[in-house]
Structure 1
């Protein structure tokens, strides 16, 4: 017997240098360096001239620390968008930016000072601001490299910074537009204040966490009742005599007289109390204590006015049980209207008459009987509802107090409590339940006990506002601040969408902006609909100052209080353009700005700084409007940030732009939710469950992190962790193998091989149909920012339609057919069409891998997949009848391959080519479809018999493939030593051990 030749070298096996192992962590930096050398971003801009711009305006991250996973998700999503929009034919510009001013940076510099034993206030303010600037510059450089390492493209060599001189000049100019249009005013109202950071905070700078608070039930004695006694005995009717009225009034002044009881979770506000309010629709009663247990602050005979619905709970908190108190009278609304109350500390020895004036007592709409006592104590300096009540009554001068300093301590001179701190400067780690608790609450409670003003006390755990920077609780504190009036009519010629800031914002939200998801619209709308005026000022050093002057000695309500002069404003802006905002703090600046225009001595310079949200809210002006690569009309196509930015950047940008340009600065808003760990827990360093982007990149490469983003339903809370990343890496390997197969089998492909679609076998035409379908789906998905949908469709196509079906079937053709075989040429033509589409469709997601794939086929010093557009895909590739036909063929194939898999599992055969099954097909249409193709090739068997005969009982069936049964039979003949198919004709040809097909291929 003659030895059969080894035909391995005659096969057209895949040839590619594209490595099986990606080695992304080691190789990705080389691509980054290459892109920088090629200037890819700038080349795209040059090549896109004349295209319609697409502007995704970058929400500025804060320049004060390494990136966390939320940063990575955000920037990668933005990169998906800009790259896909560019490849769909737009001029997709992306200018990254940073927020550089504000408390977080100032806080870090102060910490450095404290560590060195230095006093910040002793340092020249310009020197201090320069230190803040250097700190921000350092972190901008660090974060820029971290973002670039993720493969994010953009104008990295010229980002926008809120601390650039031009940016500071524009921010000041935008502020001065408020000064000139009359929306700016100075007011004194309670704002959220951080005693730890000593500044006012915006809602966007606050996050809510559980906190333990003291609760107290405090007695406010009734000291007078005019006209009508304050109670009517239960069941009594008719008029009381004058003698009865006098007796009642006298009784009320006795120690055992009645008290109104209030409940509060902020005992420290009691010294600032100016009144008590009740509900106009609440039922009240007079209650009397008839017995007391030990350790009870109530005394027998004491009487309390309470909401009837809350009396039981109140007495329970006072340790009084049923039978130890009784309801003795109704208290009507008319009777409540005649009552005057005393402060519980009135007449206290050493009180310096701080609290001796009667307290106001009236009805208020915000009082309910859902919790507490049905009465609310009012400290208008520390609560917005109370403030607004007395503001509307015109009584603010009588009720506003200034008892709390900026460090959260009671002012000097306040009886009993001077110097007591509401919150500590640093947390007390021993007090795990309430680590920031100062000594003010305890001092107030102790004093109330001493004077007999306390009925009960306790503790409550509730959601409470905290500074997101220091993580310390905040308080409401009345301070003079600068505000933008959002309901003041504007006569600025920009009233197309409304005449006030609020009206313009609500109109923009409803009619001018597209929201993804739609719930974002509802969230921002409700926030702006209900929000108060915008607090613009901060009592800090690092930021853009409120560039205005006030008339010395004038009141904020005086018409000439603010200096409104366009010439002065122009000087200020020019000075900021040349020297930055630091110039505001240099000696003689006021004099230079007012020289020749106004008497400098007649005006006082304001030194508060702007809320940093005003800075970032103004970016539309100095980025979208002023830059050459900005938006033609100054309006972005898209803002994309986390859902927390509905109260942050989306919100401030909306208000600021509505005030200065009359509408929203964006046409669409996309929001992503929060990233949790694998168990659905919020990430926390203390829990040890944080995922750091840098570590993921070191272990897997940036493309794996990007692929995780693409597989994420980002509009809802989503998860990441070691096991999830392993799954992502597995998906990546499968996709990489698909791309490697195409590269290997396209080796040497030229246009001369190309076959027209009409001349291709049906299987290739089916693939073209799928490509045409995908082209529409991919473009729609990218346009809708549905990256998860895009990737799922492409991944399913690559792994199921291609690797598990088309490639599996055509491997034999590609490896074994002759070079001029029409079937092989058609397959290679389809591989080429697949290659151009899959590499470009996936390039916005897998930026490094698709560059590797592209360069493996099209090497060149200037080559890059990122300089390509998505190729046009002919609509006439769509062929619905063919797809329906092949749906039946694929179903029948599944039945055959499942039947053969059982034989492989049982080791009856080693490969499907050893089989020649008999396939029983009941449906005549399906039978015709199967007979029209080489179904044995489709099933990767050496032979196959189709029969309409009834399905025998021993046949294999799949429940989901109705009317198909498979009976296993072995293939007849010998194994071809070249293609391994078994055929009776093997050995009967020129070339030993070959089948007819392989003999022809060998020539």
Structure 2
């Protein structure tokens, strides 16, 4: 012992951690500078060079629309993609990322039209070339804006060469993919009811529609029966119920259920007062099961006259309530058997308007009744229509109201039995314009789901009977249509598109697995794919239709010229083309009509695998992973699947990951009108992108997730603890070099136990990466940093770090493990919080390049020691009990810290006693002294130590004669 004064200050002799790494992150200020350095150093290009020749992992980016600032859904999606790509790169894969944008179609076109509407201009009067140029400029502007915003999130990729669906090469490839369908016979033009937006004047795909609750007018209408094999029915009225009054003017038949029991009943209105004269009875035909509901809705009493089986209604004919108008309305309305008719609501009889319903269309078509195309593209009855011609819009609530023109005319005709504007139900709306849509039968181009590629040889009867010109042969009579889950084969053994797609679904990995059921059900039940749009901005359906036969031209040489023209001048080339030159010498333009409809944008994005993956990585290459929100089972996942199945006979992806939606803190959908939108750009501005990224990674993103101030506060706290661990490692490793390194075999048990924990964590993190479960990844990483390191390993070994001599074997072993931990943790954190990981790495190794060029840390399999792990898990459990026993004495200020406590432990388990005695458990528990003995029960006793405290290490030891003096170890370190 030295004889220095016990009051001497020994702080300068303690080896405290030293680092310039600040505890305060300041991410919002630091991240842009890090981004700038990455760009200057061409980090993405460096990474591609470093991983060249490695096994490739391709995450194909689903293209967002280029039409506005990014929202939380964008941020969540892009961050997840970046985490996946970075983690695969960390594992040594060549993981490129090609960002892309969907640039065609209504999202952009609608915004450009809004600018015209503000100026009170009609878009239809603008030359198409000018309008398309404005759409292209609008999309280009937002591509630039969104590119900067996505980069600010820390998303690393080929930002200088993204893919755009409006790029000439992309447009040429999209056209080429369409022509593959045409050449294989998987394309037809037919008239079918499709969802149609009267506001946007175009057909919509399922993915472009959202459902909102509305209140509609419901009416009950009487159709007088004029013919029937059941004599009693003649002169009676069939009652139909509908919530779309505007479809009554297009009615062509009535549907009944063959298995439903009906009644002919006497209907008497219930008088509102005793003074009201009784109304005459009327005979009506309704479903027996619905009598009570009909009486309540119509305010009538129904007295049964005769029971009638549904199957007996065959041959019954009614007339339209407006039959007196003649022409179309004077034609008989036959009763048709419909398996879809139920008694869930209504009257058990359904009015059929084949122009405006899929079931209506199919049933009427089967009986030779075709659509009449009475409603125009802006949602009005055509001017020559005998009833309400030129009026509408047909879905305007006032037009359909109980006092509107439809109900008024029906009432005057004596056919309106009831009308009320109180029926609440879900109804489809355009997700862009938010306007209600209608089912409307129009000539459109379709890709059939159940058509064999063997060939097409007869016309669609709906087109033949409706007088639509240029009808394309539809379905071979030898091909069976089916929507069964199995692959359908025609007699010539050609598979159907539905069958190929369903097979592909089975051979694809779906994450989470339950999402497979969702897309399978959608593909099983979906109708033919309507791929045409009546708009201006997009890739045209570049076909020539023979003016007399209606056949579209299939000639590979013509198609090659079309694709070449697109490559040179983009899709605009079609609208300015010398079509005779494209047709070539073998065909006369006078015989052919160019198609000017444009392609559904889902076909555009569904073709990206061709002009992104195959174009950049080789023919036949497909993506390892697609990842988007759950709504894309009916959108991009499905359109990509169908496009690839139709042209390549397989899916374009090996795996598909689905994530949920970002909701507000209360679990509500974000809405500007509600005022609950959480802006990711504001979070980045205030907190930094790493906080947002950590939130994304820590959520259970397979479900919908919530975000708000409280949630972000928790994420910030998680980040702060992780940053503190890095700061400790940097400080504790100050001056460390390889000469100090100790082999694991020569390390104390505690260090070897931590290496065992590192090996376990390594396996857990790898498994999480493979499962795309980054919430599991973050949880494992942060729990290790907080529980295994900060609260345990660092806590125990801080005495050795601060006070042992630099050459002490235990201190060297500890610092060796800290170095291993540093290299592992900074890599493992890099995919999640890339800016912070770079800051940490550059703080220690400023001249060693980016952390993102590194690979997964090397973890020696020999570190894993299950026996040692079990031993230390027992010790950790006992340590927690000791700490809990000390806490009341600290709270009561009996002891100032655990170092001032003496601990006596009795344990009933002799094996545990032996384990505790095998090492310095007082050091593990950070107490003054500890004794352990075997007893009948487990018991822990705590008392304040009466020993003196070392002035340098603050341990209470028997060798210290007075407070402030040095213990033997400290004296040796200080004086040598």
TM-score (norm 1): 0.91
1:289 to 1:116, Cα distance in 2 relative to 1, 3 A: closer
Gap change, CA 1:439 and 1:973, over 3 Å in 2:
closer
1:390 to 2:376 alignment:
no
Report what 2:541 is aligned to: 546
1:406 aligns with one of 377, 384, 388: 377
Partner of 1:30: 33
Deviation of the 1:5 alpha carbon: 2.6
Equivalent positions of 1:321-720 (< 5 A) are: 324-333=301-310, 335-347=312-324, 351-393=325-367, 395=368, 398-422=369-393, 442-458=404-420, 459-490=422-453, 499-510=495-506, 512-555=507-550, 561-586=551-576, 588-627=577-616, 630=617, 633-720=620-707
SS at match of 1:625: helix
Contact 1:268 1:422 (C-alpha < 8 Å) held by counterparts: no
Tell me the residue number matched to 2:467. none
Is the aligned partner of 1:190 residue 2:161? no
Q: Which of 82, 90, 95 matches 1:79?
A: 82
Distance of aligned partners of 1:659 and 1:748 in 2 relative to their CA distance in 1, 3 Å threshold: same
Aligned to 2:473: none
SS at match of 1:916: strand
Counterparts in 2 of 1:596 and 1:631: CA distance versus 1, 3 Å: closer
CA offset digits 1:648-680 (Å, max 9, x no partner): 000100110111111100000000011111111
User: CA separation in 1, counterparts of 2:853 and 2:590?
Assistant: 62
Whole-Å separation in 2 of the counterparts to 1:122 and 1:683: 37
Question: Is structure 2 residue 939 aligned with structure 1 residue 965?
Answer: yes
The residue aligned with 1:172 is: 175
Rounded to whole Å, the distance in 1 between the matches of 2:488 and 2:236 is: 57
Match of 1:1000 among 931, 948, 972: 972
| 1:345–1:448 Cα contact (<8 Å) kept | yes
Aligned positions of 1:577-976 closer than 5 A: 577-586=567-576, 588-627=577-616, 630=617, 633-860=620-847, 863-949=849-935, 963-976=937-950
Q: What SS is found at the alignment partner of 1:969?
A: strand
Distance verdict in 2 for CA 1:562–1:291, change over 3 Å: closer
Whole-angstrom distance in 2 between the partners of 1:424 and 1:438: 7
Secondary structure, in 3 states, of the residue corresponding to 2:944? Answer: coil
Distance (Å, rounded) in 1 between the aligned partners of 2:311 and 2:72: 61
Question: Structure 2 CA distance, aligned partners of 1:596 and 1:898?
Answer: 93
How far does residue 2 in structure 1 lie from its aligned partner after superposition? 3.9
Deviations 1:762-807 (A, max 9, x none): 1001100000001111011011100000110111111011101111
Q: Offset at 1:294?
A: 4.1
Separation in 2 of the partners of 1:122 and 1:309? 55
For the residue of structure 1 that corresponds to 2:218, the secondary structure is strand
Matches of 1:750 and 1:964 in 2, distance apart? 45
Residue 117 of structure 1, CA deviation = 2.7
CA contact (8 A) 1:214 1:441 kept: no
Deviates more, 1:288-297 or 1:512-521: 288-297
**How far does the alpha carbon of each residue in 1:560-590 deviate from its partner, in whole angstroms, 9 at most, with x for none?**
x11111111111111111111111111x521
Query: Structure 1 residues 437 and 707 mapped into 2: Cα distance closer, same or farther (>3 Å)?
Result: farther
In the superposition, relative to structure 1, how do residues 82 and 462 fare at CA in structure 2: closer, same or farther (>3 Å)? same
Question: Structure 1: how far apart are the matches of 2:874 and 2:449?
Answer: 64
Q: Which residue of 1 aligns with 2:224?
A: 221
Q: CA deviation at 1:944?
A: 1.6
Contact 2:246-2:395 at 8 Å conserved across structures: no
> What RMSD over aligned residues (CA atoms) do the two structures have, in Å?
2.0
Q: Deviations over 1:233-254 (max 9, x none)?
A: xxxxxxxxxxxxxxxxxxx3xx
Counterpart in 1 of 2:251? 273
Query: How far apart, in 2, do the equivalents of 1:549 and 1:820 lie?
Result: 85
Cα deviation, residue 101, structure 1:
0.1
User: Within 1, Cα distance between the matches of 2:844 and 2:752?
Assistant: 24
SS in structure 2 opposite 1:61?
coil
Deviation at 1:981, TM superposition (A): 0.7
Structure 2 CA distance for partners of 1:463 and 1:826, relative to 1, 3 Å: same
* Structure 1 position 281, deviation (Å): 0.5
Asked if the contact 1:380–1:390 (Cα under 8 Å) also holds between the matched residues in 2, the reply is: yes
2:298 maps to 1:318: yes
* Correspondent of 1:282 among 260, 269, 288: 260
- Please, which of 261, 265, 271 is the counterpart of residue 293 of structure 1? 271
Runs of 5+ consecutive residues of structure 2 not aligned to the other structure: 456-486
Question: CA offsets, 1:264-305, max 9 Å, x none?
Answer: 111100010000010010111111024541499994220101
Q: Distance in 2 between matches of 1:420 and 1:298?
A: 37
How far apart in 2 are the matches of 1:31 and 1:495?
56
Q: Distance in 2 between matches of 1:20 and 1:729?
A: 13
Query: Contact 1:897/1:939 (CA < 8 Å) preserved in 2?
Result: yes
The 3 A distance-change label for structure 1 pair 335 and 919 is closer
1:147-180: CA deviation from partner (whole Å, max 9, x where unpaired): 0000011111100000000000000000011111
Cα gap change, 1:449 to 1:947, in 2 (>3 Å): same
CA distance in 2, matches of 1:211, 1:495: 39
Deviation at 1:531, TM superposition (A): 1.1
Give the Cα separation in 2 of the matches to 1:498 and 1:641.
32
Three-state SS of the structure 2 residue aligned to 1:110 is helix
CA drift of 1:230 comes to 4.1
The answer (yes or no) to whether the contact 1:854–1:865 under 8 Å persists in 2 is: yes
Alignment of 1:38-53 (within 5 A): 38-53=41-56
Indicate conservation of the 8 Å contact 1:55/1:637, yes or no. yes
Deviation track 1:488-539 (CA, whole Å, cap 9, x = no partner) reads 22259x99997221111000001x2000011211111111111111101000
Structure-2-length-normalised TM-score = 0.93
Cα distance change, pair 93–681 in 1 and its aligned pair in 2 (3 A)? same
Deviation (angstroms), 1:438:
7.0
Q: 1:263 aligned to 2:241?
A: yes
User: Residues of 2 paired with 1:441 and 1:771: CA distance?
Assistant: 76
Q: Any idea what SS the aligned residue of 1:917 has?
A: strand
Moved more, 39-48 or 294-303: 294-303
Matched pairs, number = 935
Report the Cα distance in structure 2 between the residues aligned to 1:179 and 1:888, rounded to whole angstroms. 70
Q: In 1, Cα distance between the equivalents of 2:494 and 2:191?
A: 28
Secondary structure, counterpart of 1:626 in structure 2: helix
C-alpha displacement of 1:416: 3.6
In structure 2, the CA distance between the partners of 1:151 and 1:660, relative to structure 1 (3 Å rule), is same
Counterpart among 87, 101, 104 of residue 107 in structure 2: 104
Unaligned runs of 5+ in 1: 232-251, 426-433, 556-560, 951-962
